[in-house]
Structure 1
Amino acid sequence: MSDLQITRNVVFPDTLRVARARSLPNLGPRILFFSGGSALNEIARALKLYTHNSIHLITTFDSGGSSQVLREALQMPAVGDLRSRLMALADESILGQPDIFRLFSYRFPKTATSADLSAEYDDLMEGRHRLMKAISQPMRSLILTQIKVFEAERPADFDFAGASVGNLILAGGYLANDRALEPVLFLMSKMVAVQGTVRAIVDRNLDIGAKLSDGTNVATQRLMTGKEVARIKAPIRDLYLSEEGARLSRDEVSLPKRNRKLIGHADLICYSPGSLYTSVIANLLPKYTGRSVARRQVPKVYLPSLGTDPECPGMTLTDQVAAILATLRADAGAECPVADLMSVVLCDTDSFDNDEAARLETRFGIPLIPLPLKQDADPLRYDPDRVCEALLSLS
């Protein structure tokens, strides 16, 4: 029986499977997410109750806010989304964990004077800061070592306003390990006892660019999301990776073998809620990604964002699915069966549209399954437990 046939016959929620996962989360399924940004963090935090084996492949192309300040200062990938996912998956039951979480999540005030920011940073670096003093040895010394590496490399005029301490620690570890993210991600995962696996989709200092349907070129992630600048006015027709402003071909950026191996062992693959292009499709651009997904014969689920995605002006749900499939097929091959790339689209019951379901079925043979997935108090946010139970039912 195919994955698609299995998907159509799933009962939601599968109470037996959910109960089994909650009783033995250390043996839970390997649910793999292509994601970025903060849209999945609430779900990731809840997922720890069901499985300690989730896998998160995260974009490192953020070009806005404090992440961009760090990128420009040190010529490194964006680490903010990696840090926030590590925190979401941290084991909150361990003694002293809240102190580490508070430190890694702390941001320097945006409105403080330069003198006050410098003084607070000095307190942090010397171990005098209240958040640092709260952490017991030898963890404190291990964290301070990373900060001191950052200190040795940072420009004298580095702007600490709004900077995340966790990002500075990651940056120090990146620099200390010959500009590689994997070692410091492993170290931080151990520091906070991450209940899952968090990896950068690629370990390179790259950007994403786009060409819109009206011919407009958009150079970086920040200009696509509609958060810091005006929203784009036309749909994205071509998304690509770039380095120092130059477009890269798919052959120039490969998905690392370690990430291909993770896909090859996944029990379910999820294209996550979040900005469609900069958080989801950006992860699918490296060479071998589409092929790796196609080879793994497990359910593949698209969980679109609730509400309006500023990156998708004028696009229907079917258009969004088409964009994901086109990106995967650019690597897996134009003739790759849809069922090898996407099995099902989930949506909240109140968002279900019969016409859209018919279009998805007719064009791609993909079922649109309505479930009560949103929060009762906030219709634009998913209920984490409901989403976890739906994914577990499919895995």
Structure 2
Amino acid sequence: MTAINVEREARLPDDLRVARAESAPHLGPRILFFSGGSALNGISRRLKRYSFNSMHLITPFDSGGSSQVLRRAFDMPAVGDLRSRLMALADESVLGQPDVYALFSHRLPKDAPQDALRAEIGRMVQGKHPLITAIAKPMRQLIRIQLRRFADQVPEDFDYRNASIGNLILAGGYLGNGRALEPVLFLMSKMVDVRGTVRAIVDENLHLGVDLADGRRIIGQRRISGKEVAPVDARITHCFLSDGKAELDPAQVPLPKRNRKLIEQADVICYPPGSLYSSVVANLLPAGVGRAVAARRVPKVYLPSLGTDPEALGHDLADQVAAILAPLLRDAGPDTPPTALMTHVICDESWPEAACRSVTAHHGIPCHRLPAGASSSARYDEDGVARLLVSLD
């Protein structure tokens, strides 16, 4: 699709395209998202109405919450955001699926004794827990196998408080499949009939790092996002992947071939709402992402977050675009035109017109202000965004 067609269609959803997608979502467009966290989950749920073919490349670098406990115990990538997106895309209407959904979404209590929590997991492994007995065979056996793999290798001092059962199942599958995420993600997708494809951008056990304008370097996503510790108090100037100690050259973290193929198949590429660096830019850091995006001649849209993003301190809209373009240009080459990596910025009318004009002036990328916000200015109208993205195909 040419840029002029994208510009025309970006103004309002094409009702005919949307109606066609809604009547046959199994034939819906292949919209690829570079994302992480929960900001896109609402839009993902609405998108199931129009397409079963969306593709989600998710950051596995979270170092906070229950993901941090699993990472420390098993030296593995973070799986919380992957599980969250799988649940957002699951078909909750199919007979028997709600029971699996309930299990995968269940969290252990935050304040129960460790012995009691350990015993609860033991009942699940034995098939005696009500959340397990509610699930029909053979799915029940498949789930118990993954939980047993987890239980067989879990350290004695593992902290079960607030643990997500879905995360424990993913961890068990990871450990039982040669420390690879893809097989267990595929299995879980089939268990809950996921309406799309969910993959980690890479399977590596890595961390996110940033340099700040005041010269400090921070490594660890939980120290960047402002959710568990105080947000960064200086502008982020550089984002990188780390082994936990030092910055890694992007060539050390190549994009897997299977994920490159997803980009090559995309009808629309979207940089969606979410924390600027830890949810969006993090997925663009592996070697090969920029080249794959530049080679695909389809609409490539940035939907900036609404409200306050602690990671975007000191960034106006043009700066946010620059942060996304930076790793893509490093990979694709500095002579790559920005419009080969991002064809449009589409934002809510709460962004001032001057911000949109600045994007075009600095990067040559058209920017559109649409009435896409919900009643709260901190989030988008989820169905409106889903319809808009479908209409870009």
TM-score (norm 2): 0.98
Q: 2:54 & 2:361 partners in 1: Cα distance?
A: 32
What is aligned with 2:94? 94
What's the CA shift for 1:320? 0.3
Q: Is the 8 A contact 1:99 1:131 kept in 2?
A: yes
What's the CA shift for 1:362? 1.2
What's the CA shift for 1:205? 0.6
What is aligned with 2:289? 289
Q: Is the 8 A contact 2:225 2:310 kept in 1?
A: yes
What's the CA shift for 1:234? 1.1
| Partner AA of 2:48 in structure 1 | K
Q: 2:208 & 2:226 partners in 1: Cα distance?
A: 15
1:83-125 Cα shifts (integer Å, max 9, x gaps)? 1111111112211111100100000011112232122222222
Q: Is the 8 A contact 2:201 2:259 kept in 1?
A: yes
Q: 1:187 & 1:53 partners in 2: Cα distance?
A: 17
What's the CA shift for 1:359? 1.0
Matches within 5 A, 1:162-181: 162-181=162-181
What is aligned with 2:298? 298
Residue identity over aligned pairs, in percent, reads 59
Q: 1:393 & 1:118 partners in 2: Cα distance?
A: 49
What is aligned with 2:374? 375
Q: Give 3-state SS (helix, strand or coil) of 2:240's partner.
A: strand
Q: Give 3-state SS (helix, strand or coil) of 1:226's partner.
A: coil
1:8-29 Cα shifts (integer Å, max 9, x gaps)? 2114111000000000000000
Q: 1:273 & 1:150 partners in 2: Cα distance?
A: 33
Question: Are 1:5 and 2:4 matched, yes or no?
Answer: yes
What is aligned with 2:382? 384
Question: Are 1:272 and 2:238 matched, yes or no?
Answer: no
Q: Give 3-state SS (helix, strand or coil) of 1:198's partner.
A: strand
Distance verdict in 2 for CA 1:226–1:244, change over 3 Å: closer
Q: Is the 8 A contact 1:3 1:343 kept in 2?
A: no
Larger CA deviation: 351-360 vs 214-223: 351-360
| Partner AA of 2:364 in structure 1 | G
1:244-273 Cα shifts (integer Å, max 9, x gaps)? 423210110000011111100100000011
What's the CA shift for 1:384? 1.3
What is aligned with 1:246? 246
What's the CA shift for 1:236? 1.0
Q: Give 3-state SS (helix, strand or coil) of 2:172's partner.
A: helix
Q: 2:209 & 2:325 partners in 1: Cα distance?
A: 19
What's the CA shift for 1:192? 0.8
Alignment RMSD: 1.0
Name structure 1 gaps, 5 residues minimum.
Answer: none
Q: Give 3-state SS (helix, strand or coil) of 1:311's partner.
A: helix
Q: 2:303 & 2:35 partners in 1: Cα distance?
A: 11
What is aligned with 1:151? 151
Q: 1:219 & 1:365 partners in 2: Cα distance?
A: 33
| Partner AA of 2:156 in structure 1 | A
What's the CA shift for 1:366? 1.4
Q: 1:352 & 1:308 partners in 2: Cα distance?
A: 12
| Partner AA of 1:281 in structure 2 | V
Q: How many residues align?
A: 392
What's the CA shift for 1:5? 1.7
Larger CA deviation: 259-268 vs 117-126: 117-126
Matches within 5 A, 1:140-219: 140-219=140-219
Q: 1:62 & 1:173 partners in 2: Cα distance?
A: 19
What's the CA shift for 1:364? 1.3
What is aligned with 2:392? 394
Q: Which runs of 4+ in 1 moved over 2 A?
A: none
Q: Give 3-state SS (helix, strand or coil) of 1:117's partner.
A: helix
Name structure 2 gaps, 5 residues minimum.
Answer: none
Q: 1:8 & 1:121 partners in 2: Cα distance?
A: 53
Q: 2:374 & 2:126 partners in 1: Cα distance?
A: 44
What's the CA shift for 1:6? 1.8
What is aligned with 2:17? 17
TM-score (norm 1): 0.97
Distance verdict in 2 for CA 1:5–1:193, change over 3 Å: same
Q: Give 3-state SS (helix, strand or coil) of 1:104's partner.
A: helix
Q: Give 3-state SS (helix, strand or coil) of 1:247's partner.
A: coil
1:316-359 Cα shifts (integer Å, max 9, x gaps)? 0110001111111010001101110001111112x131211221
Q: Is the 8 A contact 1:240 1:247 kept in 2?
A: yes
| Partner AA of 2:171 in structure 1 | A
What is aligned with 2:258? 258
Larger CA deviation: 17-26 vs 238-247: 238-247
Question: Are 1:66 and 2:66 matched, yes or no?
Answer: yes
